[in-house]
Structure 1
Amino acid sequence: MVHQAATRLATSCTECQRRKQKCSRDWPCNHCQARRVAHLCKFPAKKALKVTRSMAKTASLDNARAASPQPNLETSSLGGIAAVTNDNAFRMLGYLPGTEATNQSAENYQSAAISLDLPSMDQPEMKEAMRGLPPKPNADILVQYFLSEINEQYPCVYPPTFLHDYAIWWSGKAKGQALTPEFTCLLLRICACATLYLDNDARHKLEADLEENAQNLAERYHRTAKQLSTTIAPGQGGLTQVQQLFLNAVYCKIEAQFVESWHALGTAIHQAQELGLHKASFKVITSEFEREMRRRIWCILYDWDWQMSLLLSRPFIINSNYCSVELPNLCLESSDPDEFELSPIAHTAYQCQLGQTISKIPGVMGGLMTSAQAIAIQQETERWFKTLPAAYRLENPDTRWDQSHKFVALHRYQLHSIGYMVMFLPLKPCLTMNVDDKPSVERSLRPIAIDCALKLMESSQRMLTYMLPTSAKFYFAPFIMFDTAAFLCSAIIHDRTRTLPNQDRIIEAIGSAQEALKQISESTKTGAICYAALTRLAGSMPPRQEENATMVSRSSDESIEGPCTPPSAPLGPETYNDPYFAEMDAKMLGNSTEAGIVDASLAGLNPFQPGNNELAELDDLINIDMCELSQIWDWNTLDLTLQPPPAA
């Protein structure tokens, strides 16, 4: 289990002492938890009190010695040392924990939104940022949308403290107080990300109020935040600066700018390292709440690093040998141990565990993995699956919280997809080669690769079901479905001897992936690109009578009764009954597709018709414009001997 037992502390927290309440002496305590003020739940350092008492005794002894002078060099030296052994000296040497932050109460809590050091806001970037933000009613909508939709995926801010600072920021703006540039940047980043995620009604309202296209608004917020962020020196701005830099990476990822997102992630990681988030925080002068937030943010950065580095085939930014990853204790949202796994940060902590595990396998971080490493990754990931709690386990998960905590089901399938993605990554070459003349180890891995690919497709489609329609721009599920289906197509093309196992399930999985990508192709650029490319690739597969009969049957059923979902790829009936999908299916594909990625000629393409499956037409795949996806996708990985078009 990831969560840590709540530490039993010696005395009541400062808030309970101030309010004269009985404290549970856990962090966060019962009263602070109920009032959602965990950032104010602080306890005096017990060790510091003990050491202070002992030092007071030492000082009295030194005074007694000083009163009776002795002409002894050794005694004089001890007296000189005792003269400098005070609290500050010991604290400077790192022997005493600090009590500066732990003695704060509600009255002297310092908000991250107001600056006590900056006398004014004369910077042109700050003035531009103040003008660039939407009016408060619109900003309120964007903030609430971010906290309810995006922050559950990437929980980099704690809603109670953020909303507290958010109210102070607007109050300080009205009073003409000096506002911190880092929190202003954070607010702009939140508005930019939330604008891209708005549903149709909220987007139309925002565009009507501000008289500007939502995409243009998001780009303007992002651009303004980027300009203001350049005025903040490295190491300045605290955790708020790390949060806003991380949301820069989130924005780029939402916009499918994967290389830019990776570089933005590196900037956020370097800022976090300047603050010492990669080190154990037991000597840091900070509150228990801030230590927990440090753990959470570093855990998120660590997860993004190892996953994006694997997808982009790039070296890890974080060197695990030179950092300590302290997992969150998961008790910030609830003091009930039975509900620790329902924390929005829980799935991030479990991903962090998996990343730590596979990074310890020799050679994994080098990029190219052997069969032995693929087997080791499979074994470690299967062990990791078994450690997941009941709400996230693979078989018979506990679904009693799916309605009250809507993110639990989404996080469950996200964890499953990431686990199978890690297992499938080193097994991909087994599907792009003729294994008949390969060693027995590689031949034995092909059935494992196919089984893993089918499970990855199923979990990705389940995740997409829970994401739609509000989170259609979340690229991970559509891309994983396309990537896995493409390798399954390559496996069929390379299967010269017709010995590929589970052929019927493979065909069903490819068809289900096409249906799912088709449904989001008109609302997202990523879905449109993936649907066009997969349709073209599936049309190049060699014909088989049983496959043609299967697809003809599927097409006939869909024309009469609507889309049919195979058991192995359940996009449930609730998805197809949604008006969002009914309207999408009613339109002809290509009439209003974003950026014109898919044209009408692909709408009626039956990918398994004999007229479209000549292997010579594989060369047409290289002509498909993958746009931003070309940063993480290369047709050469399918080993289809594609030829580029001749030069003009």
Structure 2
Amino acid sequence: MSLCQYEGLEPPEIPLSGDSSSSGTCNELNVDSRTIEPNGPLDLNTDTALDRNVLVSGLGYSAHTSHSTLGVLGALETHSNIGIPFSASKETVGGNLQYDIASKYKDSVRHLPASHHIHQLLDFFFSYVNWAYDVIDEIIFRRQLESWTNIPYSMLQRDPNELDPEIRVFPALLLQVLAQTLLYHPSDDGTLVSLKYMPGMSFHDVAKELSEAGATILDLLGKRCLTLGTVQTGLLRAAFLKSSGLVVEAWHTLGSAIRDAQELGLHFNEDISEQRLPCSDAEEAVWYHERRSRLWLILHIWDTHMAVVLGRPIATQLQQGIFTLPQDVCARQEWTLPTKRTEADSPTAFSVILAGYNTAYQYFPTIHRIEQKGGRQEDYVTVDKVHAAIMQNIHSLPSWCRADEPDSRYDREVGCTWLPAARETFWSLVHFALLALHRPYIFSAPESRTRALKAGLQILNAQSRLFRLFEPQQPKVFNMIYASFDALVLVAAIYILYPQENREDLKESLQSIEWGLSTLATLGEHNEMARTAHGVVLALYRRLKPRLDNCRPSASMNGESSDNIHAPAPRPMQDLFFQHLSSVTSSVTNPPFTLPDDLTLGLPDTALQFGGTYPSDSFWNFMNEYTFPTFY
């Protein structure tokens, strides 16, 4: 295998510059103290002086732009032939890991379960979990697992830096995969009970320890020898944090994975020359390019979606002329090149992701800009255009992806048992895009209120079907109803503020809110964020019932606000959703979940308030101070 050379526990012999024995190493720093004196003049004719690796690793220049100092030196090499060693390789040179860091690496690796448990969990992961993100290439992953299991203990004892970079980061990736799997694995599986080494432990407790051990390894390895495995590990860590309800922490972790991906140049895929690919086999080179493109697209979707949900800035973009979308190809098989998928071929997990991007996810940056500008009247033309485009894209979807009477012939295929769940997730996100598109205007545009309400109901219907699909496993993860919370709050808020409108959807809306409360209560037994969300939605629901009882529908449902499109939106609607949820708490003490007929019976006025201190322009402050009119 190709090895990186570091100053480890036992300093290696440093060959003289130009020694042919060093040619087999990757990104060596051929710095010889006998060649360069600390305070002496720098010899520009030496390899060391203008080594690409020195500029990338030592000075932090990007290896993927032609307009930096590094690019100037590259041009200088081309035109003057001064012999700058610009050979590329699959990693950036690493720094020294001291003995205590190597020891911590081994301590983290010890968190890996026994081999038979690993294989059992991996089989479950690739059958029931990996489809959700499609981050892991099963063929490559199992090859790396075999390489990892064949590493002798003596090598770890000596120095993990002697491992190939992809293999060195592999235990971190494996730990994140196992942690993600345990979140979805049936909690009553007795074959894995030995993983719970203390009384009262749950699989989620075990998963948390595995994920933290994987994150520790990633921190120990630092940012020098980055690989695709580094980015995959970071993304799965973000997924675990998000699944556990730690949404802000997940956003920061995602940002780190994005920067790692940019360091590797994943955002450039137009000209991936063979010398930059860490493989010599043509088939492997093409699939490696495919993996890079897919991973960057998935990072971009995550980034833009979380930006819209949380009101955070967007860190990624897909630039035309620099990045080309990966194609929808058939499922990978050993020793075959990617083949473009036809309608007759089974869809893959990435087929669903790509369909979602082409249908709605591509508009997240536009939706984000509209939100950040506060839902201005002049932007409503864009809202109409985006809405029309998404609806047109929905009508053009392939038959296996449709919401109504989809072609289910693939659903029972051995490799597609995940498709029903993927379909419901797809529809949740597509309708979330519509909901987010219209939510800045729900205070000012009746049409947007109606469209946002209907999108919210579609989300809740899809999430209800998705939850039923997962009932045998009963996963205790918050992202099962992640989109539901946005929809629940919006549906309740619309009827609280505009109880005379959309009465034809009222019965379905109340049923959906009650389903959401029940689901949040179930997940709240294991998830703090779900408990908080349950309290918020329950407080809104308790406000909703008396509003509906005191309101009689008027002859013109939308009459009171038909011209409000000309008025500015009074509140920033992204605050209604997830970004402040961790600090939004209802003062209602939640008993075991029930829905009494009189939801306000025996409750003081303060029980309908949201605890905490919020800015004057916050939705939650608005709800606390709002005086509801009486309808006659």
Q: TM-score scaled by structure 1?
A: 0.64
Shift in Å, 1:427:
2.4
Q: What does residue 544 of structure 2 align with?
A: 541
Which segment is superposed worse, 284-293 or 361-370? Answer: 361-370
Match of 2:365 among 348, 359, 362: 359
Do the aligned residues in 2 keep the contact of 1:277 with 1:298 (CA within 8 Å)?
A: yes
Looking at structure 2, the residues matched to 244 and 258 of structure 1 have their Cα atoms a distance apart, in angstroms, of: 17
Paired amino acid for 1:206: V
Paired amino acid for 2:104: E
Do the aligned residues in 2 keep the contact of 1:146 with 1:190 (CA within 8 Å)?
A: yes
Q: For 1:182-223, what per-residue CA distance to the aligned partner results, in whole angstroms no more than 9, with x for missing partners?
A: 112112222222233331233773346745734443333233
Percent of residue pairs bearing the same amino acid type: 18
Looking at structure 1, the residues matched to 515 and 217 of structure 2 have their Cα atoms a distance apart, in angstroms, of: 45
Q: What does residue 460 of structure 1 align with?
A: 463
Do the aligned residues in 2 keep the contact of 1:145 with 1:194 (CA within 8 Å)?
A: yes
Map 1:376-415 onto structure 2 (within 5 A): 376-404=385-413, 405-415=416-426
Q: For 1:418-437, what per-residue CA distance to the aligned partner results, in whole angstroms no more than 9, with x for missing partners?
A: 11111111323555x4xxxx
In structure 2, the CA distance between the partners of 1:457 and 1:288, relative to structure 1 (3 Å rule), is same
In structure 2, the CA distance between the partners of 1:619 and 1:313, relative to structure 1 (3 Å rule), is same
Instruction: State the structure with more CA Rg.
Output: 1
CA RMSD of aligned residues (A): 4.0
Looking at structure 2, the residues matched to 612 and 482 of structure 1 have their Cα atoms a distance apart, in angstroms, of: 27
Gapped runs of 5+ residues in structure 2? 1-76, 82-86, 157-161, 278-284, 334-338, 552-586, 627-632
| 1:641 aligns to 2:620 (yes or no) | no
Shift in Å, 1:342:
1.4
Q: What does residue 139 of structure 1 align with?
A: 118
In structure 2, the CA distance between the partners of 1:458 and 1:122, relative to structure 1 (3 Å rule), is closer
Looking at structure 2, the residues matched to 348 and 471 of structure 1 have their Cα atoms a distance apart, in angstroms, of: 24
Shift in Å, 1:319:
3.2
Looking at structure 2, the residues matched to 638 and 376 of structure 1 have their Cα atoms a distance apart, in angstroms, of: 33
Map 1:195-594 onto structure 2 (within 5 A): 195-202=182-189, 205-207=192-194, 210-211=197-198, 213=201, 214-234=203-223, 236-285=225-274, 286=277, 287-321=285-319, 324-333=323-332, 337-338=342-343, 340=345, 342-353=347-358, 354-359=360-365, 363-364=369-370, 366=372, 368-370=374-376, 371-404=380-413, 405-429=416-440, 431=442, 433=443, 442-470=445-473, 472-495=475-498, 500-543=503-546
| 1:170 aligns to 2:149 (yes or no) | yes
Paired amino acid for 1:536: A
Paired amino acid for 1:153: A
Q: What does residue 6 of structure 2 align with?
A: none
Looking at structure 2, the residues matched to 136 and 489 of structure 1 have their Cα atoms a distance apart, in angstroms, of: 49
Looking at structure 1, the residues matched to 550 and 540 of structure 2 have their Cα atoms a distance apart, in angstroms, of: 15
Match of 1:172, SS state, is: coil
In structure 2, the CA distance between the partners of 1:601 and 1:366, relative to structure 1 (3 Å rule), is closer
Q: For 1:489-536, what per-residue CA distance to the aligned partner results, in whole angstroms no more than 9, with x for missing partners?
A: 222222365675532332233233334444544354444443343233
Looking at structure 1, the residues matched to 603 and 198 of structure 2 have their Cα atoms a distance apart, in angstroms, of: 49
Looking at structure 2, the residues matched to 317 and 143 of structure 1 have their Cα atoms a distance apart, in angstroms, of: 32
Q: How many residues align?
A: 473
Q: For 1:303-336, what per-residue CA distance to the aligned partner results, in whole angstroms no more than 9, with x for missing partners?
A: 1111111111111110344852422432243756
Match of 1:398, SS state, is: coil
In structure 2, the CA distance between the partners of 1:472 and 1:245, relative to structure 1 (3 Å rule), is same
Looking at structure 2, the residues matched to 143 and 621 of structure 1 have their Cα atoms a distance apart, in angstroms, of: 43
Looking at structure 2, the residues matched to 360 and 534 of structure 1 have their Cα atoms a distance apart, in angstroms, of: 29
Paired amino acid for 1:160: I
In structure 2, the CA distance between the partners of 1:621 and 1:511, relative to structure 1 (3 Å rule), is same
Do the aligned residues in 2 keep the contact of 1:514 with 1:531 (CA within 8 Å)?
A: yes
Do the aligned residues in 2 keep the contact of 1:296 with 1:328 (CA within 8 Å)?
A: no
Do the aligned residues in 1 keep the contact of 2:539 with 2:608 (CA within 8 Å)?
A: no
Q: For 1:350-406, what per-residue CA distance to the aligned partner results, in whole angstroms no more than 9, with x for missing partners?
A: 233333345357934746334334323322221221232111123321111222222
In structure 2, the CA distance between the partners of 1:502 and 1:195, relative to structure 1 (3 Å rule), is closer
Q: TM-score scaled by structure 2?
A: 0.65
Paired amino acid for 1:133: L
Paired amino acid for 2:330: C
In structure 2, the CA distance between the partners of 1:399 and 1:545, relative to structure 1 (3 Å rule), is same
Paired amino acid for 1:510: I
Looking at structure 2, the residues matched to 496 and 508 of structure 1 have their Cα atoms a distance apart, in angstroms, of: 16
Do the aligned residues in 2 keep the contact of 1:185 with 1:244 (CA within 8 Å)?
A: yes
Shift in Å, 1:635:
7.5
Q: What does residue 29 of structure 1 align with?
A: none
Q: What does residue 106 of structure 2 align with?
A: 127
Looking at structure 2, the residues matched to 169 and 349 of structure 1 have their Cα atoms a distance apart, in angstroms, of: 32
Higher helix share: 1
